[in-house]
Structure 1
């Protein structure tokens, strides 16, 4: 009985209060007839901001003429609340008011927009509309839930920026080492005369000896000789056709000399090693010589050699000779004009022309090179036996990042001025998620090679992963100036800034990338985003989770459940995330969803 009396007393007091308030009492009673529409229906954060617009409709005959109402949206979340902009509404009878006027007979509409900073904890929040009316007295009209919030998918940025590893400059093509020697001929003849001054010259004799000794050593070592060549010339004097024939004869004579000298080299080797002609090694060497087919080339008159020799000579009037050669296209006339310079010609005849009467022997040897297997083995066991480019090349031969890391560390120790080794170590560390250590190696690389687009790009990624987006942008812009493609990475920054269409545009050259899918989703294209996620080769928990979000936005429960299940299997922490994620608000009562997140 006492409890009943208390309730009755309370009710009578409320009725008495409302009655005493006159028109305010009706406003309190009829407050549920005021309708609210919130955009977006579920609050979202973009660029770390939460934007909301609330539109209200006040029915006719609701608003007292001399009343005014303070309407304040409040975002409430675990750990705090944030009051948004307060809107003042006033009746048509309020004088000197600053609020939005609402006609009593017709009712009215109002709108209020605001932007607040997103804070941790707002992932699970409610937007409440709190209103109080004043007409002599002030009464609370009540509180109404306006929207849920806050969707934070825009903050699920993945670490898939384009990191750049510096390339090797190793040339894997066939390398040729050339050995050359000359045989000189008398004027107008193709006979051999080893007493000619040029043939007796010590340097020339040593070159001939070295040529044939090289042949012998190369043959014994089993190295490949790509080809032999014998080119012969005549000095530019006399009849042109005669000199053409003369150079051809000199090439043939040179070929015979070439073969004879090779045989002599083998015989000397046999004698020194006390081996007979029938010895298998000597016989094999002689057989190889018999199979040689040198490329003979008759070059005719050597005007090019003549010009070079004159240019490098001490002849006083050499510029006149050069002008004659350049200006006079008729070879006979050119030669005659030079002969007319009697004093100069004698100097040419003695100091220039004899060196042009020659046959040149050339032997092109294919340089031995290490196999890929040898290169990789040496890089990991004896790195000091390889040169810089061989080490970088060896690192490219393996897909094992731990092996790559060891090779690059050896490279940085052996070649401490090579920025690429430090950059590549940082690259591998970033792939491991070791940001701080990677940053120190990149700083070293940047010191060794300033304004380097590759290093600047990677420094930008480090800054982005540290959420230092301002410096990340500066690094990317500097890298771009250094001709490095940073479009994808700039696209990731566009996601951070909430410019999703620009992000998609910047990333358009890529495919099957997580952040591209995120940008597509946030720009309103969940179907394309899902296709992008599906084609990613190695999917992690975050990839499956985002695809579950795509399923929710497409209202495809099967897609949602399938991907969310895989996400949780890879990382159980996504279970609790999904349970509160307002992306899945419409599926909170779905039995399969509840079964996954419980």
Structure 2
């Protein structure tokens, strides 16, 4: 060929070659992509991922549009994450522009709804690329393996349901009072006062209490003088009133053959009673009187200042002070209830003789769950209008794993009377169904329930708020509490909690194995898994797929356990 034609042909070939290459996109190398965390982790029922990628210099065609989507593939399915679209400098659109010359770093956040099959999975980035109207095929890039799903061991069904507690009191204390009134500056007892119905009823009550085999009675005499007239005068007056009242009462007790302890005392100036009566009254300027009482502590100064309020003192003298010239008789009665043995016997032989408080208390006297439920059923038959009877049947069904019947009983309890205990228990039921929004609403209506902190701990676990879960569980020793501590990486505390679980089960041992794996204690991993699998054979398959034990797959003892 003639040399004068050769150079133009070479130039033309170079132009064609460059033009052809510029219309292509190369596969994005794995080295330019980083997914975190590694491996992925289930948190609050989701598998979140943050992907940091770099489009290197000269990689992005000026006329290209590239949509990047993460996809998590597992046996039997795949889950697609959030798609991000990027465009070249010469594309008319609203997507992030990637300069061709410099390239760019991008961050993509995504999340997948967790499924157990995702424990064994692979995370890929997929690319949907076009230059003008031409589709460019780019290969998927693998950027991760597997999902750690330890948080999914949270189990609302193992939490402690709320009991409708009994209010049984072995000893019920009652105080019954009667007043004997005196005239101003006098200490003599008047027959009118001694024979009035109030005093007569009080004496009968003391006699009945003394004769009752299950009651104890003790008497107090408190004699007072009103706070007018000076301390010296009132001291002698109150003392004489106490002495005269004591003589009268001793004669009456002797006449009735009642032998009970009597404690007598007197108060010279009853400022406390005065303040109480004034505060409850509607007298004019009562706030001014109360202010004087708060400003002055000296009795004489108080009295003088109050007398200086001339507009109100006459009302005080007529309405308040006469009520303070008295001796108060108080009968302190203790009513002693049935013994534990009596209650346990009656709940079996004749529960109708027991109050609802006694029947509910009877259920606490046995450790047999079957007997407890039987007692609660008897209680519901006799006291159907007490929500606690239905709630507590539901509580027993919840413990037995019969969640459908438990839910029915909790709803029944709420229909009898809306109550925080049943709301909390229904919140636990909602958590077992994965309905965190409903659970949060129900638990929010369970204020004051003793078991609420544990239920909230489970809710926070399922929401992925592990630090809040730890705080809510506090010192509770349970699998859920230990799980929260593991997830905040407090392994020492988790070990202590697991060691203190009252009814350790297969999950307890499995969590011990997780702690051992995270703290590089291979012998405890094997021993704990061996115990867990012996209690629940299905955990062998779980352990085999669990990335918590990934570094033990080549361990012969581990392999023999999980095969």
The two structures have a TM-score, normalised by structure 1, of: 0.63
Counterpart for residue 193 of structure 1? none
1-side partners of 2:44 and 2:238: how far apart?
83
Counterpart for residue 37 of structure 1? 34
**Offset of 1:409 from its aligned partner?**
1.3
Counterpart for residue 384 of structure 2? 416
Contact 1:225 1:363 in 2 (8 A): no
Structure 1 residues 263-302: aligned runs within 5 Å: 295=262
1:395 maps onto 2:392 in alignment: no
Structure 1 residues 439-454: aligned runs within 5 Å: 439-450=407-418, 452-454=419-421
Counterpart for residue 518 of structure 2? 553
What are the superposed Cα offsets for residues 161-191 of structure 1, whole Å, 9 maximum, x if unpaired? 34221222222126679999x9xxxxx9x9x
1-side partners of 2:379 and 2:25: how far apart?
81
**Offset of 1:85 from its aligned partner?**
5.3
1:494 maps onto 2:477 in alignment: no
**Offset of 1:384 from its aligned partner?**
0.6
Counterpart for residue 406 of structure 2? 438
Q: Measured at CA, do residues 568 and 259 of structure 1 come closer, stay the same or move farther in structure 2, by a change above 3 Å?
A: same
Equivalent residue for 1:478, pick from 445, 467, 486:
445
**Offset of 1:39 from its aligned partner?**
1.5
2-side partners of 1:363 and 1:57: how far apart?
87
Counterpart for residue 310 of structure 1? none
**3-state SS of paired residue (1:122):** helix
2-side partners of 1:70 and 1:293: how far apart?
93
Contact 1:212 1:261 in 2 (8 A): no
**Offset of 1:534 from its aligned partner?**
3.2
Contact 1:425 1:441 in 2 (8 A): yes
Counterpart for residue 457 of structure 1? 424
Counterpart for residue 43 of structure 2? 46
Structure 1 residues 134-533: aligned runs within 5 Å: 142=139, 144-159=141-156, 160-173=158-171, 218=211, 226=217, 295=262, 369-450=337-418, 452-480=419-447, 486-505=452-471, 507=472, 509-533=474-498
1-side partners of 2:384 and 2:402: how far apart?
22
Counterpart for residue 124 of structure 1? 120
Counterpart for residue 283 of structure 1? none
Contact 2:82 2:109 in 1 (8 A): yes
Q: Measured at CA, do residues 231 and 527 of structure 1 come closer, stay the same or move farther in structure 2, by a change above 3 Å?
A: closer
What are the superposed Cα offsets for residues 429-461 of structure 1, whole Å, 9 maximum, x if unpaired? 2111221111222122212222x2222212211
Equivalent residue for 1:540, pick from 493, 496, 505:
505
**Offset of 1:498 from its aligned partner?**
2.4
2-side partners of 1:501 and 1:48: how far apart?
17
Contact 1:549 1:583 in 2 (8 A): yes
1-side partners of 2:192 and 2:56: how far apart?
121
1-side partners of 2:25 and 2:427: how far apart?
58
**3-state SS of paired residue (2:112):** strand
What are the superposed Cα offsets for residues 257-306 of structure 1, whole Å, 9 maximum, x if unpaired? 865775xxxxxxxxxxxxxxxxxxxxxxxxxx9xx687597999xxx9xx
Q: Measured at CA, do residues 322 and 469 of structure 1 come closer, stay the same or move farther in structure 2, by a change above 3 Å?
A: same
2-side partners of 1:37 and 1:325: how far apart?
90
2-side partners of 1:513 and 1:103: how far apart?
57
Unpaired stretches in structure 1, ≥5 consecutive residues: 1-18, 183-187, 191-195, 233-238, 263-288, 305-320, 335-355
Q: Measured at CA, do residues 411 and 585 of structure 1 come closer, stay the same or move farther in structure 2, by a change above 3 Å?
A: same
What are the superposed Cα offsets for residues 570-592 of structure 1, whole Å, 9 maximum, x if unpaired? 11110011111223223222222
Q: Measured at CA, do residues 34 and 399 of structure 1 come closer, stay the same or move farther in structure 2, by a change above 3 Å?
A: closer
Q: How many residues align?
A: 488
2-side partners of 1:414 and 1:48: how far apart?
44
2-side partners of 1:198 and 1:228: how far apart?
19
1-side partners of 2:207 and 2:85: how far apart?
104
Contact 1:457 1:484 in 2 (8 A): no
Equivalent residue for 1:571, pick from 510, 533, 536:
536
**Offset of 1:542 from its aligned partner?**
1.5
Unpaired stretches in structure 2, ≥5 consecutive residues: 1-16, 181-185, 224-232, 268-272, 274-313
Q: Measured at CA, do residues 483 and 54 of structure 1 come closer, stay the same or move farther in structure 2, by a change above 3 Å?
A: closer
Counterpart for residue 268 of structure 1? none
**3-state SS of paired residue (1:503):** helix
**Offset of 1:418 from its aligned partner?**
1.0
Q: Measured at CA, do residues 227 and 460 of structure 1 come closer, stay the same or move farther in structure 2, by a change above 3 Å?
A: closer
**Offset of 1:528 from its aligned partner?**
3.8
RMSD: 5.6
